[in-house]
Amino acid sequence: MRYYIIAGEASGDLYGANLIKALREKDPQAEFRFWGGDAMMKETGQPIRHIRDLAIMGFIEVVRHLRTVLGNISFCKRDILGWHPDAVIGIDYPGFNLKIEKWAHEHGIKAIHYISPQLWAWKKGRLKGMRKYLDLLCYILPFEQQFYAKNNLPQAVYVGHPLVEVVSDATPSNDSQPNTKHLTLNTDKPIIALLPGSRRQEIKNSLPYMVRLAANHPEYQFVVAGMSLIGPDFYNKVINSSYITHHSSLEIVYDQTYSILSSAYAAVVCSGTATLETGLFHVPQVVCYRGNPISIAIARALVGSRINHIALVDLIDDSNVVTELLQQDFNDRRLEEEFRLITTDTANRERMLEGYRRVEQKLGSTGASSRVAENIIQVITKTQN
């Protein structure tokens, strides 16, 4: 069968690579065409569009790049028609993928969405359309089961979180510490992981605060988890704009996030998938985020009082496992205060680690990619038969 997969972000690229492997195991004749990144490239060749050109988030940012977004949508539709897939599979990236999936359904192609939009937080009105045009929705957060049961979306299936299997693959079964590539750092200092985000605007907004924190703590080795698809020039430009001229305790290591986390004593993390990754690696963290003020104001107005957290570990446990420094609260003074708590307060560190253990219990077992692949094949073959 032919699978057209669209991932628009780094996390989707990772999940897409594992999904391709799982589909190939169950369907040895599988053919793939995809939008994604380096992880998916390793599995099945060159993407139609690379995620480096697709990662746009926020209301204002989308408006600014509207011509590019609309051009990509038009191109994607033409490309799908020319390739004639059995199914279009959108991985997260809902602003783009839901439009393509609706169009695919209208053209007689199976429409599948993997990683549910956060309908429990906002845009619940999307449910009505999704009932009509989605053949399958695979969701990954345990608390979403109650939401979909209450809102009558029969094609919604809970598959578990794909990060559990990703981190498990990087971790020996008899050891709580991941067995990844060792960092080649000449240091005897404790390592602090800095994860400033996977998009340029996130890095630009968060990394300067992290750099200034590093300058105040020469007793630690700070390591930025860089992404080669962003490029050294961009990271260096942001670092050099941080009003700090001495960076002896700061290094950038590219494309080795799990190696960094496996070696880290603590972490400062831009909100997103990385907060859950850090939790699954059992690393105490401070979560931070600064976005466009107008975009954030619109988001808060839409969400209202429905959710109290943004960090995935907090959402899953429905508690304050980690501290979230958002917008104006993400400043040099507050970051310094919270950093000291996760590095020097033993009781706070243990409280956070206990929270991570609760999150792991709620997420359950590995095998999400295999379950997604099985459901996709069932949806396609059911119609064919």
C-alpha to C-alpha distance for 158 and 143, rounded to whole angstroms: 10
Do 38 and 103 share a structural domain? yes
pLDDT at position 58 is 46
Using an 8 Å Cβ cutoff, are 141 and 315 in contact? yes
Closest CA to 345 of 242, 280, 266, 278: 266
For 183-202, give the DSSP string: P-----SPEEEEE--SSHHH
Counted domains in the chain: 2
pLDDT at position 369 is 97
pLDDT at position 204 is 94
Using an 8 Å Cβ cutoff, are 263 and 230 in contact? no
191-195/2-7 β-pairing = unpaired
pLDDT at position 261 is 96
pLDDT at position 176 is 41
Do 262 and 238 share a structural domain? yes
Tokens of 187: 């240091």
pLDDT at position 121 is 67
Closest CA to 11 of 188, 237, 167: 167
Do 232 and 126 share a structural domain? no
C-alpha to C-alpha distance for 170 and 299, rounded to whole angstroms: 35
pLDDT at position 275 is 96
Question: In this structure, what CATH number is given to the domain that contains residue 296?
Answer: 3.40.50.2000
Do 211 and 340 share a structural domain? yes
Q: Which domain holds residue 32?
A: 2-160+367-384
Q: Check: pTM over 0.75? Answer yes or no.
A: yes
According to DSSP, residue 51 is labeled G
pLDDT at position 364 is 87
Do 153 and 18 share a structural domain? yes
The dihedral over CA atoms of 227, 232, 233, 236, expressed in degrees to the nearest 10, equals 100
Burial 243-260 (b: 16+ CB within 10 A, else e): ebeeeebbbbbeebbbbb
pLDDT at position 60 is 45
C-alpha to C-alpha distance for 84 and 290, rounded to whole angstroms: 41
Query: What is the chain's pLDDT, residue by residue, as a tens digit (385 residues)?
Result: 999 999 998 889 999 999 999 999 999 999 999 999 999 999 998 999 998 877 554 444 555 556 677 889 999 999 999 999 999 999 999 989 999 999 999 999 999 999 998 887 666 778 889 999 999 999 999 989 999 989 988 999 999 999 999 998 876 543 444 434 456 677 789 999 999 998 898 999 999 999 999 999 999 999 999 999 899 999 999 998 886 665 668 999 999 999 999 999 999 999 989 999 999 999 999 999 987 665 555 555 444 445 677 899 999 999 999 999 998 899 999 999 999 999 999 999 999 999 999 999 999 889 999 999 999 999 999 866 5
Is 293 a domain residue?
yes
Do 216 and 148 share a structural domain? no
Tokens of 250: 């700061």
pLDDT at position 242 is 80
Using an 8 Å Cβ cutoff, are 160 and 363 in contact? yes
Do 232 and 140 share a structural domain? no
Handedness of CA 117, 120, 123, 128 (dihedral sign): positive
Contacts of 277 (CB under 8 A, 6+ apart): 163, 167, 257, 258, 261
Do 380 and 340 share a structural domain? no
C-alpha to C-alpha distance for 231 and 203, rounded to whole angstroms: 12
pLDDT at position 241 is 84
Tell me the residue type at 21: K
Tokens of 157: 């299936």
Do 345 and 332 share a structural domain? yes
Do 373 and 268 share a structural domain? no
Do 227 and 319 share a structural domain? yes
